[in-house]
Structures are given as C-alpha cells and as structure tokens.
Structure 1
C-alpha cells in the first residue's frame, strides 16, 4: 500500500511538472511582447540612464562597456546570488527555474548560482538577480549599476520553458540576439514583407554586438523562432546548408562556449574576453584556467583553478589523482 501511495505521489508531481511546462514549449515571447514600452528588441529592459533611448543603449552594447557578473570570484568560477520570489511562483515553478539555472551552470562551468531563500535586505552590498513576475519574459543587458538592490529578471508563467529561461538569463549575463549580429545577412534571409510592421525593430542589425569570433549558431537559444513576428509563414530562412533549429529546450553548445569566452579568463580578479579561435587553439592557460574534469591543461598544474591540479591533461583534485593513478 505504501509503495503504491509513493508511486502515485511521484506521478502527481511529474504530471504537475508537465502541466506547468505544457503551455510554454511553443511560446514565442518575442511575438507576444514586441509592443512593450521601455524595451530593446522586445525583451531587453532599458536602464534609467538610457532615458528610454535605444541609441544610448546601443552605445553600451560594446563588450568593453558591458558590466559583467564577475564581482565574486570563487576558485574556478564566478558566484552569482539569485533570489526567486516565492510570492510569485508555486514550489514546482520555482523548482523548474532553479533546475534551468543549474543546467546552465553544469554545462558552462564558469558561473555558479547561490540561491538564497530570503530576499536580501536593503543593506546588502552584493549584486543579485531577483527573479519575479514583472510582466513578460525579459532582463536587463549585463549587470546594472544598481544590481545590489536586486536586478529583476522577469519570468511570467508562459516563460518557464528552459530555453526561454536560458534566453533571458543570457541577456542578463551580457549576450544579445543571434539574429541581430552584424554578419547575419550572410546566414539568414529576412523576409521583411512577412514581418508585422510593429515588430520590424526586433530584426535590426547591431554593429556593436560582439560575438567573440563565434560561428553563426543556427541552434542558439538567442535565435528567434523562424515564425517570430510573422504575418504568415516564416520571417527568416537559412542561406546555408544548415537549417534553423530552435527545437532544443535549452541553450546551445555554442551559447555555453560563449559564456566561457566571456567569463573563463581572469586577470586581477576580473574576467576578460577572448576570441573563439583562441579557445579552439588552447582551451586553458594560466589566465584561462580549467575546471574540474576539463581537458587541455597540457601538463601545467597552474592551469587548473582552486585546489585542482593538471594530471595527464585533465584537471583533477588530489583524491581523484590518487584513485585513478
């Protein structure tokens, strides 16, 4: 009897999870909220000093001016405090959000989240992300100047698919949309006549978005759905032999690599960007140190962060080294 009750309880939890997720899988927040005021390209919130001016915001898109979440270096990662507003979410919804953040952490490796159960007080000096329902799926771009008061990342009920969470989170970490890259016309044909006239701005190219030498990513969570803002049919198609694929319910591999390009390399306690070609040639260096279970340290003990050591081109701790050697 007890086993049956346990199985029934687990099934009810799984069903609740599926119910929470069912309406979000195909939800296109860009098509749904392009009409919002005070936003850039539908889901990037303008800061107060931009005075609702997209031109002021565009000047800050350059990576040299971006404020990153690199204020708290802890060994082999930057730690970022996160508060999920329990007044806005059910326990299961909060769990889905936290799991999406953890998936991001497990794959990217260079950022870790410190979830706090209570909203930090007014005397808090550490920047943190405050996840709540604030009208749509959106974030600020990078870390704001007043993030110590709690930087809003808005996730309404319709935004709780993992891909959407990762999309909005990547904005917060300092990434723009793939469709707005300056080189996008080499990879995408934009069907301008098929775009809702009120949504054209979402497809504008941005010369200041710096992809850090990454190849165009047809699977990126930062790429719009092919039907985003469409009057009918599609608003964009691939110009190459690679198809647009927005079916994966998480950030793409190249999304995770871009996070490493922006946050893996540290000098004087702060991160600095590097190019994808450098990452391909040498994944780790004395400034761009490896994480646990990473390869490519090439026999250099100082290329693994924290208490890790490089052993046969893998970063290991002392216990692992003793067990496996």
Structure 2
C-alpha cells in the first residue's frame, strides 16, 4: 500500500510537471516574436484589478488614485535606492510562493541580469529589511517608478508577464525609469500619430520631464513601446523621425543605452 501511494504521488508530480511544460510551450508559441510593449499591452488589456491594486498610467506604471498620470516622481522627490559604502546598491526582494519553480527561475534570471552590468544587486529579503520589492502575480504587469518605501509591489502575472524582457522592463521602472516614448526630447525622434490612438489612451503619450542621464534617444531600449501601442484602428501610433524606416520597439533585453543610463543614474563606478 505504501509503495502504491508513493507511485501515485510520483505520477502526480510527473503529470504536473508535464502540464506546466505544455502550458509554457503553448504560451511561448503564441507570443513568439512579440515585443516587450506588445507583451505588456496584451497582458494588461483585460485587466480587472482588485480593490487594493493601483491605477496604471502609460500601460504598466502604478500611480496613486489622486496622482498625476504624467508626473515623474523621480523629478519631484528622491526615488533612488540607497547606495552602500562599497558602492553597490542592494535591493531586497521577496518572490511570492504562488510562482512555480520554472516561473521563479525566469524572475531570478531577470533580477540577476543587473549584477553583471551595473552596481545594482538584488538580494533575497531578510528580517529587518524596511523596504523591498514584493514580486507577486497580481492583475497584469506593473511597477511603481522608483523607490516607494516599505513593501513595494512589482506585479508579474503568471498569465502573460513572465518573460525576460518584461521582468527587466518592470525592474527598470522600480529603479526609477519611465518609458522611452515619453522622454522630454521625444519629438526629435518619434512622431506621435494622435489620430490613431484610442481617446482614453492619449495621455500615455504625453511627454514628462524624464531623467535621460545625458544619453541619446534609444529605439532599441527595452523601455520603448512598439509602433502600434494603444492603437484604435490597427494603424501605427508612432513613427521614427526623421527616418521613418528605423526599426524600434523590438527589444528582447536591456540595450547598452539602458545599461549606460542606469549606471549614470546610480553613479556606478565599478560593477
């Protein structure tokens, strides 16, 4: 009887693992070739937030109910995470236990991708930490911009948000960055086609006083949305300017420009 019980348990584990592999294979096939902006827009399209979840601006940026949808908190108050005496920026994180081991590995890979290119070090939460990122599967993909204090939610829904580029995208928000297409110098590089944008989504393209860190506009940034973002008629909402043939919004990971401005913002002298 004991042998039968263990055999049944093992069979259930194998079946569960197989089901997860099939689920991810189907999801990867369905989303293959989609840009980070397309993945985020798709994941948040039919979002039905719980009562305790924030409003979103620009598609995936958490804001307070009485907040300005176009405000940049990093220009109005301190939003950076603290640097330690060794020159590193240690940011505690907690990954909710509702993620599977495979999902957790995607998140951890995204977290660890920062340590090799910057002074940012994400580390597991410890007792006594007074501020940390709480990575949870809530309604959609979203993050606050910059350090908020206390427990700060980064939502990576198990349905549609668990990709390397979306994890990096949301973590860059948490570190203090906005979207590329809202940069203060956007009009020198992107022409917004307002007539193609859904009426209730036009605010997502308003420029804000972003922290550009002296870097050039980056069409390949993981923070740049795709050309059809928030379109109401399947026509482009953005075109590169002055060369309308430049490819953009197709990043699969942080660009070198993303990395450079991150290091400038946090004054990373050594990794």
CA RMSD after TM alignment:
2.8
TM-score, normalising length: structure 1: 0.66
Per the alignment, residue 156 of structure 2 pairs with 155
Residue 237 of structure 2 is matched in structure 1 by 235
Post-superposition CA distance 1:132-165 (Å, at most 9, x none): 01211100110113x2xx2100011201121111
1:69 lines up with 2:55 in the alignment? no
- The structure-2 alpha-carbon separation of the partners of 1:249 and 1:77, relative to structure 1 and needing over 3 Å to count, comes to same
What does residue 5 of structure 2 align with? none
Residue 24 of structure 1 contacts residue 160 of structure 1 at CA under 8 Å; is this kept in 2? no
In structure 2, relative to structure 1, the CA distance for the partners of 1:200 and 1:258 (3 Å cut) is: same
Change (3 A) 1:184 1:252: same
Match of 1:54 in 2: 68
- How far apart are 1:15 and its partner, in Å? 6.8
> Quick check: 2:118–2:270 contact (8 Å CA) kept in 1?
no
Moved over 3 A (4+): 12-25, 30-37
Cα distance, 1:52 vs. partner?
A: 2.2
Displacement of 1:16: 6.7
Does residue 109 of structure 2 align to residue 104 of structure 1?
no
Pairwise CA distance, 1:85: 0.5
Secondary structure, in 3 states, of the residue corresponding to 1:53? coil
2:211 aligns with 210
Match of 2:270 in 1: 290
Post-superposition offset of 1:233:
2.4
Partner of 1:83: 94
Q: Give the corresponding residue for 1:43.
A: 60
1:226–1:244 contact (8 Å) kept in structure 2: no
Number of the residue aligned with 1:300: none
Deviation string, structure 1 residues 198-247 (Cα, Å, up to 9, x no partner): 211111111x2120111000001111111111121211111134723333
CA distance in 1, matches of 2:134, 2:263: 23
Q: What residue in structure 2 maps to residue 144 of structure 1?
A: 148
2:261 is matched with 258
Structure 1: gaps (5+ residues): 1-11, 266-288, 292-325
Give the Å deviation of 1:90.
1.2
Q: Partners in 2 of 1:250 and 1:84 — Cα distance? A: 21
Judged with a 3 Å threshold, the aligned counterparts in structure 2 of structure 1 residues 20 and 114 are, in CA distance, closer, same or farther, namely farther
Specify the structure having the higher radius of gyration (Cα).
1
Tell me, yes or no, if the aligned pair for 1:78 and 1:111 is still in contact at 8 Å: yes
Instruction: Please list every run of 5 or more consecutive structure 2 residues that lacks an aligned counterpart in the other structure.
Output: 1-17
Which of the pair has the greater relative contact order for Cα pairs under 8 Å at 6+ separation?
Answer: 2
Match for residue 306 of structure 1?
A: none
1:38 CA displacement = 1.9
